[in-house]
Amino acid sequence: MARHREKGWRGKWVAAVLGVSALAAVTSLWTAQADTLSGPAPHPSASATHAAKKPEKVAIDIAHASDKGPRGVNITIDDGPDPTWTPQVLAVLKEYGVKATFCMVGTQAQAYPDLVKQVVADGHRLCDHTISHDTAMDHKSEAYQAKEILDAERMITKASGGVHPQYYRAPGGAFTPYSRNLAASHGMRPLGWNVDTKDFEHPGVAAIVATVKSELPNGPTILFHDAGGDRAETLAALREVLPWLKQQGYAFGFPVR
């Protein structure tokens, strides 16, 4: 996996015993009336309880393999959501019947919650890609790493309506043992890649497609982007790559967890 660079009150009792008794009687009456009018406190719904439950810890090693086995490929989309490009990427994926993993920047998810919900509604998976996309975060303090990862997790989960990210991808591959263990303890499998299309560099559609074909023997997880600039080349390349992968007998899956 090569590294790339992107972007009180208190009260006083003064009443005599009879006064206190009278006050207690009145309070009891008020309480009974309130219970009659409002009824018992509602129990939390099943969905709310489920959403609040902390995900179980997953493996801490960096995932590359596909859950579809040796002939599986994982399409991963980084840095969004973006109001211009994410809907178009979703449309292409839907056209070819492909499910992908969207590695989202927390502030982007917070800004565009409807897009996060659409990604989930279309059957794709979510991945935590930090809040500031700091490709040098492996040289920063553990407190800094924790804030980057956990703040993004909260932002993405809230934006999605309660769906937790299933993976964590460090910007530029800047993983550390600490960040991998922290993510895994929150149910997010560290996620790498095998094929870096470098589409963020705008190398041309042909170059992106050629990179996929030549680097696919390295492993099944392919990296694209839906934000961080003009993604027209990415869209055009996906329209070539997705049918080609199908023709080669590959099945589209998700990274193992």
**C-alpha atoms less than 13 angstroms from C-alpha of 139 in its C-beta half-sphere:** 4
Q: Which parts of the chain fold into alpha helices (H)?
A: 17-38, 46-52, 86-95, 106-111, 113-121, 142-160, 177-185, 205-215, 232-247
CB contact burial 230-256 (16+ within 10 A = b; e otherwise): ebebbbbbbeebbeebeeeebebbbbb
Pairing of strands 221-225, 72-78: parallel
Q: Kindly tell me the burial class for residue 174, based on how many C-beta atoms sit within 10 Å of its own C-beta (0-12, 13-18, 19 or more).
A: buried
Among 129, 133, 186, 225, which one carries the catalytic annotation?
A: 225
Among 78, 128, 138, 196, which one carries the catalytic annotation?
A: 78
Is 43 among the catalytic positions? no
Is 128 among the catalytic positions? no
Catalytic residues: 78, 225
